Structure 1
């Protein structure tokens, strides 16, 4: 396969190495304004360096974009990434366009610009932190848009009394596709009826319904908490 990678953010080198591992025989073009940076990037993955203005068609064509299988927009500017994926998709019809969202608020912008897949490192990190600290409060762990699913995660401690109400509610929700319980100590999967205080309750739900489900669970917990105080 032929891969065109534009930009040199902190994540670019990791992504380049991932491309090489996934496609050992692939041709990787690394594109940057600076010839030195393009050379450094390409050297790490036995690629082909190209330098020039990133949105210039001549620069991209020197990187073989007309016959590219994938295009990666990895600059530190989401606006520039949006311009790049729009160019790669609408002008050159690259089959698979991938961009990075430096600000998670720009994920939708990048999809609308033509990105088939958006990498959002900040979303992944904040999602993990919320999941780790989600004691008695459900949090949404957003998965990539193309997967079409999200996780709702919580660790019931003081809210353990509300679990029956939660299970009763989600059992009626068609968009809930799976429910798991994992041990907080070693991550092992447990039977649902073995849920103990502090364990992780993980709910897999369709992305289109995850926000609504999260709000419903918060309301159940709120009512349970209010009732326990009386």
Structure 2
């Protein structure tokens, strides 16, 4: 886990980004590289503003063992990490177990879990509409973040994505649902395409590492517009 930012003292926001729970989704780690490139650029005025107001907790690769072994969905023990957040096992899913321990210790005001989707050729967000204790503020902030990112990034859209969960039907084994339920904050899953963005195809390189990095920069721009209201 990488920590960045002064945190703004006791009133500072606690911002979490994690990625590549599924090791085959390599675009997530390129996205993380773009995130860190920007957060470590102290000449960037958006970066300076964010770091003065928040402490960032970043896990660029949640599944290093699965990545090393070339797995698509699981860690070294054969566990799909994004299906154990409600009750992770320290032996078989230590990645989630210790990430959760740190979230409990430090708190969470905003959370994004970065993935790639094999089927849908778009960039989109999935939320937490089905959690039991959903509150109006966290849902409003999530919708505002989604709309802001769509306005700032031509590579992001809101028309295509996963169906929304009906009230009370969330799966708390999934990271986004568990975090939103536990901390009452806006939490979301970012999905990126494997091949290309159908809204703006690039015939030579498709959805490339560089485009993943640029999307991360726009995600920080969108966060900057609502961080004061978290």
Taking structure 1 as the reference length, the TM-score comes to: 0.31
**More strand by percentage:** 1
Taking structure 2 as the reference length, the TM-score comes to: 0.31
**More helix by percentage:** 1
